[in-house]
């Protein structure tokens, strides 16, 4: 049986692995078969991860994190977790083709998925004008014209934030009213750089090596038009990857895994969660990494406490046996 199994190979999972491995816990990290490395595998330049003043390509950063985790003794398996049993002292983790693993603790760090528009060129131009994260990529759009798709709070927040860099920000929305809170709407309406494109959906993205224009379809008339932009921010929501723990771990109203205070402790002893899967707000590589640290330290403490309980019950048992032997000897 393992001391600790980490599920997920994003910044949260690998950072948890670095800490757990350095604590001598020989972690097993299940990294997924097709999406190993997490969200940063889908991006190009990462300029805000501390320690890389020149920036670093997303996949290179993830390779370095994996290398660092393996250097200290993490075993990484490229396989998907298909189901989990987290209740009780022994946690069981079933995988696609590597079999079943058992551990005394589990760190769940499966991240969250930005909702996509589902357009053919969306993936191809990801990191080349198409983005899901204004905090991450806004800086690359200085003096550019860009579009934000969405009508909720996060779309308004992204659009308003992006006006710090972009010359013009279109907000493309399928309806003629917004879902966003009143205050977020007003802030966006008052911003001179923001122009709303109502009753419109993006049906195409064009550009050879970078975004050049969007094809829009009017949701009322069906008419098509072109909107020349150099960037597209998709802000239509986010789904924490929690399907494996439904019915086992408590969730928040945002759909993330509920943890106790600033810790990574879930409702089940020995089960910890870290990264974007617990975070409805910040969702950055460095916050995910920090959260992985918290989870590893929590798991380490949990295991040490468990060892202590087991040790003292062994001592109690030995003392009880010794008393019994004494009694038997005295009776003779």
Ligand X SMILES: Cc1cc2nc3c(=O)[nH]c(=O)nc-3n(C[C@H](O)[C@H](O)[C@H](O)COP(=O)(O)OP(=O)(O)OC[C@H]3O[C@@H](n4cnc5c(N)ncnc54)[C@H](O)[C@@H]3O)c2cc1C
* Closer residue to ligand X, CB minimum distance, 15 or 200: 15
Whether 125 and 207 have beta carbons less than 8 Å apart is answered as: yes
At residue 269, the 3 state secondary structure works out as coil
* Closer residue to ligand X, CB minimum distance, 13 or 151: 13
In the complex, the smallest distance separating the C-beta of residue 147 from ligand X, rounded to whole angstroms, is 16
In the complex, the smallest distance separating the C-beta of residue 14 from ligand X, rounded to whole angstroms, is 8
Residues that bind ligand X (CB under 6 A): 7-13, 30-32, 35-40, 42-43, 46, 48-49, 80-81, 109-111, 114, 126, 131-133, 136, 241, 244, 275-276, 283-286, 288
* Closer residue to ligand X, CB minimum distance, 23 or 61: 61
DSSP 278: G
* Residue from 79, 121, 133, 153 carrying the catalytic annotation: 133
In whole angstroms, what is the distance from residue 26 CA to residue 29 CA? 10
In the complex, the smallest distance separating the C-beta of residue 163 from ligand X, rounded to whole angstroms, is 19
In the complex, the smallest distance separating the C-beta of residue 254 from ligand X, rounded to whole angstroms, is 15
* Closer residue to ligand X, CB minimum distance, 108 or 302: 108
In the complex, the smallest distance separating the C-beta of residue 34 from ligand X, rounded to whole angstroms, is 7
Which residues contact residue 163 at a Cβ distance below 8 angstroms, ignoring those fewer than 6 apart?
169, 191, 193, 194
* Closer residue to ligand X, CB minimum distance, 29 or 184: 29
Q: Is 137 a catalytic residue?
A: yes
Q: Is 279 a catalytic residue?
A: no
* Residue from 80, 137, 279, 298 carrying the catalytic annotation: 137
* Closer residue to ligand X, CB minimum distance, 3 or 276: 276
Q: Is 89 a catalytic residue?
A: no
Q: Which residues of 241-250 are buried (b: 16+ CB within 10 A; e: fewer)?
A: bbebbeebbe
In the complex, the smallest distance separating the C-beta of residue 20 from ligand X, rounded to whole angstroms, is 15
In the complex, the smallest distance separating the C-beta of residue 234 from ligand X, rounded to whole angstroms, is 10
* Closer residue to ligand X, CB minimum distance, 102 or 311: 102
Positions marked catalytic: 133, 136-137
């Amino acid at each position: 049986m393992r001391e600790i199994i980490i599920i997920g190979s994003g910044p949260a999972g690998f950072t948890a692995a670095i800490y757990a491995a350095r604590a001598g816990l020989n972690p097993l990290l299940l990294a997924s078969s097709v999406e190993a490395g997490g969200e940063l595998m889908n991006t190009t330049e990462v300029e805000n991860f501390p320690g890389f003043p020149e920036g670093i390509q997303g996949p290179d950063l993830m390779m370095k994190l994996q290398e660092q985790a393996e250097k200290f003794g993490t075993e990484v398996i490229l396989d998907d977790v298909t189901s989990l049993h987290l209740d009780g002292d022994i946690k069981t983790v079933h995988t696609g083709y590597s079999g079943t693993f058992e551990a005394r603790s589990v760190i769940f760090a499966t991240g969250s998925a930005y909702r996509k528009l589902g357009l053919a060129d969306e993936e191809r131009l990801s990191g080349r004008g198409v983005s899901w994260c204004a905090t991450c990529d806004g800086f690359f759009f200085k003096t550019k014209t860009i579009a934000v798709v969405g009508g909720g709070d996060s779309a308004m927040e992204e659009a308003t934030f992006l006006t710090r860099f972009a010359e013009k920000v279109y907000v493309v929305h399928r309806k003629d009213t917004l879902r966003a809170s009143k205050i977020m709407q007003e802030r966006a309406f008052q911003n001179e750089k923001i122009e709303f494109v109502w009753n419109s959906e993006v049906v195409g993205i064009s550009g050879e090596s970078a975004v050049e224009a969007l094809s829009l379809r009017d949701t009322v008339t069906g008419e098509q038009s072109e909107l020349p932009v150099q960037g597209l921010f998709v802000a239509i929501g986010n789904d924490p990857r929690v399907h494996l723990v439904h019915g086992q771990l408590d969730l928040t109203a945002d759909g993330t895994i509920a943890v106790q205070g600033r810790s990574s402790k879930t409702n089940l002893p020995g089960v910890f969660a870290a990264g974007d899967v617990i975070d409805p707000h910040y969702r950055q590589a460095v916050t995910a990494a920090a959260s992985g640290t918290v989870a590893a330290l929590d798991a380490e403490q949990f295991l040490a406490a468990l060892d202590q309980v087991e040790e003292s019950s062994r001592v109690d048992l030995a003392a009880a046996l010794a008393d019994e032997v004494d009694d038997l000897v005295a009776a003779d």
